[in-house]
Structure 1
Amino acid sequence: MSTTESAAARRSGTYLRPEGLPRRDRCLVMGILNVTPDSFSDGGLYAQTRQAIDRGLDLADQGADIVDVGGESTRPGARPVALAEELARTVPVVRELARAGVRVSIDTMHAAVARAAVEAGACLINDVSGGLADPDMASTVAAVGVPYVATHWRAPSKEMDRHADYRDVVAEVTAELDVRVRQLKAQGVDPDRIVLDPGLGFSKRSEHDWTLLAGLGTLRRLGFPLLVGASRKRFIGAALASGGAGDVPPAGRDSATAAVSALAAAAGAFCVRVHDVHASLDAVRMAAAYTAPRR
């Protein structure tokens, strides 16, 4: 997409689209598939390969446009996983889902896992470190030629909360993502295949997450599609608690997540990443109806 086309898309309110992914008249919905024992809300539920494949097929049946397979938890405080273990968790699942006709992305910070997953059929790389965790990621993305989600990231999970320090979170996240884009392009990544993610919850406090959601329009001015990953996160739980709902565990935050999905979609997000596909699919359809041009 050229700069002129990107500007035109922003002015018209249409959803920016990277090359190689579905084109819809609404925000896309990415279903989360954690093949891990320790993810914050569903760790262990789909840790076995067969369980994970069945869950991925179920997400696709629910209407997920993309199923995002991850083998390493990125929750606050999570410890790294050995590369061999991450490969063993994810690649068989990616391969079987792709064979079944499911559009699959790989959620990884590691170039070797990204390459193996693409070879197994993944059509997108979703990297929460934006290429900062593995110096080989950018060259790998350039070589395999699939769309790439670069998330705003300041530090690994075990220490990221210590880096949640901002004077103007929207301006700083926008500037830091802009730097990452320039670096990725310099390393050969096709800008037409870049998607940006503001990194809700990654080195962010709740107030930062809400401010970023309200500032998606500013982030869109970078000229790239935006993916928003809010599902079941701490800032949603905190808002529910402050609103009188009490301490709602992650698995009880899906209705609130759908509300955030609608807000993100109405603000022009290209995709939302969620655990509960049904609710957010309805939400983004409502956002599309709400924002549709009228005579």
Structure 2
Amino acid sequence: MARIWKTARRSIELGARTLIMGVLNTTPDSFSDGGLFDSVDRALAHAERMVAEGADIIDIGGESTRPGSSPVPVEEELRRTIPVVARLAKIFDLPLSIDTTKAEVARAALDAGVEIINDISGLRFDPRLADTAARTGAGLVLMHSRGDRASLHAQPPSEDIFAEVIAGLRQSIAEAERHGVARAQIVLDPGIGFGKTAMQNVELIARLDRLAGEFREFPLLVGPSRKSFIGHLLNGAPVDQRLHGTMATVAISIFLGAAIVRVHDVRAAVETARVADALRQIVAESYKCA
């Protein structure tokens, strides 16, 4: 289904092909690439590589939310992200996203050239993010997660993960609209790896079409990249050995309704998406003819 995603600087077409959001962590402690891109020059070099490999969106984050991570003060998150955003905005004409739960960081990033806010809390931690999105017209990714900042990865298993994800996303949508965010600005993320068991993550991806059906008005973003449930399925494979498992989840997510996938390995995801999109198109056409 073709949709237009309204951001602070443009209208992005979704549905014709899957868009690839490349992850740029400017943190010393992210689970997958902490410390690799925590200087402006290294972050810019990595962003350039991802753009050359075909990234459609760059998502910049300055606070790790891996298990055991500590909250980062606003001033430190600003120091890690804003110089990178400002440089990227001058170099590339593609959408930039800020991965943050803090309104102060989002405002500064938007001033520096970002046009999308990616909130892992779905407005639970700082509802002022919705005010910022409403005022600026920024795209807003609302992700489902469980617990507060300190207990994101220490929640007891949900008895019905689909019911909880659906209810949580509906609450996030309602909160965004209460602050004046238009539906055309919103993208939903089921929050793979956040407060779910390994098999619940698998189930959410395997039955993503159920979520797509529940939220027909909203595009879906899925971020399975290198997550621990993939390592669990691959007999304990470490983070740097989860590429093929990640691409399997990317392909299935695309087939079942994802409009955007958020990944660390851009080239592999671009190639996976190209093939999955072609197959999905043929399947869709066959259903029309049936």
Alignment of structure 1 residues 171-210 onto 2, 5 Å: 171-210=163-202
1:183-203 deviation digits (Å, cap 9, x = unpaired): 210111111110110011111
Residue in structure 2 matching 1:83, options 71, 74, 94: 74
Q: Percent identity?
A: 43
1:91/1:278 CA distance change after superposition, 3 Å? same
CA-CA distance at 1:138 after TM superposition: 1.3
Residue in structure 2 matching 1:252, options 205, 230, 241: 241
Q: State the TM-score, normalized to the length of structure 1.
A: 0.90
CA-CA distance at 1:287 after TM superposition: 1.2
Q: State the TM-score, normalized to the length of structure 2.
A: 0.91
Tell me if the contact between 1:69 and 1:107 (Cα under 8 Å) persists in the aligned partners. Answer: yes
Residue in structure 2 matching 1:229, options 223, 227, 243: 223
* Alignment gaps of 5+ in structure 1: 1-13, 242-246
1:163/1:17 CA distance change after superposition, 3 Å? farther
Q: What corresponds to 1:56 in structure 2? A: 47
Tell me if the contact between 2:98 and 2:109 (Cα under 8 Å) persists in the aligned partners. Answer: yes
The letter of the residue matching 2:62 is G
Tell me if the contact between 1:29 and 1:271 (Cα under 8 Å) persists in the aligned partners. Answer: yes
The letter of the residue matching 1:193 is Q
- Do structure 1's residue 118 and structure 2's residue 110 form an aligned pair? yes
Q: What corresponds to 2:280 in structure 1? A: 291
Residue 126 of structure 1 aligns to a residue whose secondary structure is strand
1:197/1:232 CA distance change after superposition, 3 Å? same
CA-CA distance at 1:165 after TM superposition: 2.6
Q: What corresponds to 1:134 in structure 2? A: 126
The letter of the residue matching 2:209 is G
Q: What corresponds to 2:12 in structure 1? A: 22
Residue in structure 1 matching 2:65, options 39, 62, 74: 74
Residue 22 of structure 1 aligns to a residue whose secondary structure is strand
CA-CA distance at 1:15 after TM superposition: 5.0
Residue 58 of structure 2 aligns to a residue whose secondary structure is strand
Tell me if the contact between 2:26 and 2:38 (Cα under 8 Å) persists in the aligned partners. Answer: yes
CA distance in 1 between counterparts of 2:33 and 2:247 reads: 18
Q: What corresponds to 1:280 in structure 2? A: 269
Structure 1 segments of 4+ aligned residues over 3 angstroms from their partners? none
**Larger fraction in strand:** 2
- Do structure 1's residue 36 and structure 2's residue 30 form an aligned pair? no
CA distance in 1 between counterparts of 2:67 and 2:56 reads: 27
CA distance in 1 between counterparts of 2:85 and 2:221 reads: 21
CA distance in 1 between counterparts of 2:55 and 2:189 reads: 19
Tell me if the contact between 1:31 and 1:275 (Cα under 8 Å) persists in the aligned partners. Answer: yes
Residues 59-68 or 209-218, more deviating: 209-218
The letter of the residue matching 1:61 is A
CA distance in 2 between counterparts of 1:215 and 1:103 reads: 29
CA distance in 2 between counterparts of 1:109 and 1:94 reads: 17
1:128-147 deviation digits (Å, cap 9, x = unpaired): 01111113111111111111
CA-CA distance at 1:16 after TM superposition: 4.2
Q: What corresponds to 2:257 in structure 1? A: 268
CA distance in 2 between counterparts of 1:257 and 1:281 reads: 13
Q: Aligned pair count?
A: 277
CA-CA distance at 1:78 after TM superposition: 1.0
The letter of the residue matching 1:165 is P
